[in-house]
Amino acid sequence: MGLFSGGLTYSRFYVEGEIPASFREKAMRGIRARVMRPLEIDDEDLERSGWCRVGEPFELELEHNDVFYNEFVNLGFRTDRWVVPTPLLKSKLREAERSYLQKKGRERMTRKEKSELKLLVGKKLRRQLSPQTRAVDLSFSLAEGLVRFMSASPKAGALMSELFHKTFGMKLVPESPYTLAVRLGLTKAAEAAWNEAEVTLFTEEDA
């Protein structure tokens, strides 16, 4: 999902703590160290995420001008995933099991043999496919300490937050009514009232 095109649905995350003065100097090293490494057929990983150029998921050579826009850090969060259709995998696995048992002169396979054969069949099928690629753009406002992530998916947000922490050494906190209120500056009395508040239902279940 793009930062400069498409819809404007996004999630917001706050940076926990202060952004260090030396941030820019270290940021590019962290980004380049965790730029996306496309999945290969023989990789053990079935899914992998990494950074790419904002709006261009297949551009993985990142320079300072590709990332920094005034007081913003703009990046693409790319995820590659191998997806083998389940019916195809089951069909090929049955064929492989029959062939294996016939070759060994046996009627059954052990659990370990089945697991190993499944890995081999999956790897063989991947040679006929390409990984699914998904990229979501984000914009990190250094002045606000705020990340706008162009996805509302909790899973994608969690994966991005993990990579962000590894890259920049700073944790992200998802926006919620409480975190927003804290950033706006609650008084102690207001904070106490907030903590004591209970959920109120405005509709009743059908009898």
The span from the CA of 123 to the CA of 20, in Å, is: 44
Choose from 40-49, 65-74, 88-97, 198-207 the range with maximum mean pLDDT: 65-74
Same domain (yes/no): 164, 190: yes
Mean pLDDT of 146-172: 95
Does residue 199 belong to any structural domain of this protein?
no
Please state the rounded mean pLDDT for residues 153-182: 86
More confident residue, 112 or 189: 112
3-class secondary structure for 150-165?
CCCCHHHHHHHHHHHH
Q: Which residue has the higher pLDDT, 181 or 153?
A: 153
Could you tell me which of 183, 194, 26 has the C-alpha nearest to residue 174?
183
Angle, to 10 degrees, between the axis of helix 177-184 and the axis of helix 188-196?
170
Same domain, 154 and 173: yes
Q: Is there a single domain that holds both residue 52 and residue 139?
A: yes
pLDDT tens track for 18-76: 888 889 889 999 999 999 999 988 888 889 999 999 999 999 999 999 999 999 999 99
- The total of structural domains in the chain comes to 2
Contact 45, 39 (CB under 8 A): yes
Residue closest to 179 by CA, chosen among 38, 37, 15, 47: 15
Q: In degrees rounded to 5, what are phi and psi of residue 158?
A: -65, -40
**Does one domain contain both 77 and 15?**
yes
Residues 55 and 136 in one domain: yes
Task: Please provide residue 53's backbone torsions phi and psi, each rounded to the nearest 5 degrees.
Answer: -70, 140
Choice among 162-166, 186-190, 203-207 with the minimum mean pLDDT: 203-207
Long-range contacts of 113-121 (CB under 8 A, 24+ apart): 117/93, 118/89, 118/93, 120/96, 121/89, 121/92, 121/93, 121/96
Strand bridging mode 72-81 / 146-149: unpaired
| Lowest pLDDT segment from 71-80, 88-97, 156-165, 188-197 | 188-197
The range of the structural domain enclosing residue 104 comes to 86-126
Same domain, 36 and 108: no
CB 137 within 8 A of CB 2: yes
Return the pLDDT at 206.
Answer: 46
